[in-house]
Amino acid sequence: MQPLKDFIASGILEMYVLGNASATEAKEIERMAVMHPEIGDEIESIERALQEYSVSNPVMPEETIKPFLLATIDYSERIKNGEAESFPPVINENSTIAEFNAWLSREDMQAPEVLPDLHARIIGYTPTMTTAIVWIKKMAPQEIHHDEFEKFLVVEGSCDIVISDETHQLTAGDTLNIPLYKPHVVTVTSAIPCKVILQRIAA
């Protein structure tokens, strides 16, 4: 076996702490740590260094994650409590607001009294498509989708959606498809929040 210092310097302990060591390697490292306190000390040192680095260099999640996570939890609870699953139509260039009236008219699908910057209520889910009513108070921050297409149908208010460097001005009844790999940002242009039907469809 290679000398202990070479073993410690090999990078295998970092792989172990990160969870990237194979089962065989992990077993050997744990055996070595019992036999050689220096290895256990080094593992603890690596763990501390990684923890300090993560605290000093936090990665902030996208601002849209929280509202859609809350919407997913809410939808799951509604289904669990007996709400029947529903399957809204796929938005296309000929879609109308009236096609979604069954969901838009529901009392439980109205905006909350205190509206956050972005609020969503899911109205339909399949493994390949999620449909939600979304309220945008002022703007939705830039996103880039790599594995799902995004479709909009404006219900109330108006907004500008900038895709790369092209601006699309949308008012009630307008639809728009967001292509993959294109940065896009939504800015509300009306005095009221922009209410949209949003679909995310697996690519």
Domain ranges of the chain: 4-56, 65-202
**Which whole-number Å values give the CA distances from 20 to 12, 26, 47, 70, in the listed order?**
9, 9, 14, 32
Provide the pLDDT for residue 1: 47
Residue 26 β-bridge partners: none
- Residue 93: exposure state from Cβ atoms within 10 A (0-12, 13-18, ≥19): exposed
Provide the pLDDT for residue 5: 81
Provide the pLDDT for residue 28: 87
List pLDDT tens digits, range 110-165: 999 999 999 999 999 999 999 999 999 999 988 898 899 999 999 999 999 999 98
Provide CATH code, domain 65-202: 2.60.120.10
- Residue 165: exposure state from Cβ atoms within 10 A (0-12, 13-18, ≥19): exposed
Residue 156 β-bridge partners: 195
State pTM to two decimals. 0.70
List pLDDT tens digits, range 37-65: 888 889 999 888 888 877 777 655 566 78
Provide the pLDDT for residue 36: 87
